[in-house]
Amino acid sequence: MSLTITKAGKEHIPGVYALVEELAVYEKARHEMTMTLNGYHQAFDEGQFKCIIALKDNKVIGTCIYYDTFSTWKGKMLYLEDFVVLKAHRKSGVGQQLFDQLIAIGKKEKYSLVKWQVLDWNVSAIKFYEKNKSIIEKEWWNCKIVF
């Protein structure tokens, strides 16, 4: 398989959006996804998020969407918002290559840590993160207010 891992450009946003939509369906929460493709274009143009992508035959088949944030205890932090690979390409090493590239970006750009969430029922994702020596904090609860 000829695979390229690279930073996304504006032309890749429709493919990234489609992957996030697929993730929302997988998580049985598509009805909660209110962000539009136009909203993605605007947010990307404004630098609200960055992403790396996996390309095969010029098609986006995987992505890590992330942004800069701050930890009051650790300093500069990279937050991984979404990490998804098209179902047909899972278990082929695409996810590992994306994750490795994300970690390399974190180290190169001198982040103090990378943080993300994983659903407690997503056993395959949990096993992937454990294989990659991730710390899974089970004592912290998520909180949010939706407007």
Residue 8 in contact with residue 53, Cβ under 8 Å? Answer: yes
Catalytic residue among 17, 66, 67, 129: 129
Q: Which long-range contacts (CB under 8 A, 24 or more apart) does 128-132 make?
A: 128/95, 128/96, 128/99, 132/99
Burial 39-64 (b: 16+ CB within 10 A, else e): ebeeebeeeebbbbbbbbeeebbbbb
Task: Classify 86 as helix, strand or coil.
Answer: coil
Task: Tell me which DSSP letter residue 110 carries.
Answer: T
> Which residue, among 56, 116, 51, has the nearest Cα to 92 in the 3D structure?
56
Q: Confidence class of residue 138 from pLDDT cuts 50, 70 and 90? A: very high
Active site residue 129: yes
How far, in Å, CA of 82 to CA of 103, rounded? 14
How far, in Å, CA of 107 to CA of 119, rounded? 26
Q: Confidence class of residue 1 from pLDDT cuts 50, 70 and 90? A: low
Write the CB contacts of 110 (distance below 8 Å, at least 6 apart in sequence): 76
Residue boundaries of the structural domains of the chain: 3-131
pLDDT (tens digit per residue) in 62-92: 999 999 999 999 999 999 999 999 999 999 9
Overall average pLDDT of the 93-107 stretch: 98
The verdict on domain 3-131 having CATH code 3.40.630.30 is: yes
Helices (H) and strands (E) in the chain — how many of each? 4, 5
Residue 126 has pLDDT above 70, yes or no: yes
pLDDT (tens digit per residue) in 40-55: 999 999 999 999 999 9
Predicted local distance difference test score (pLDDT) of residue 2: 86
For the chain, give the mean pLDDT.
96
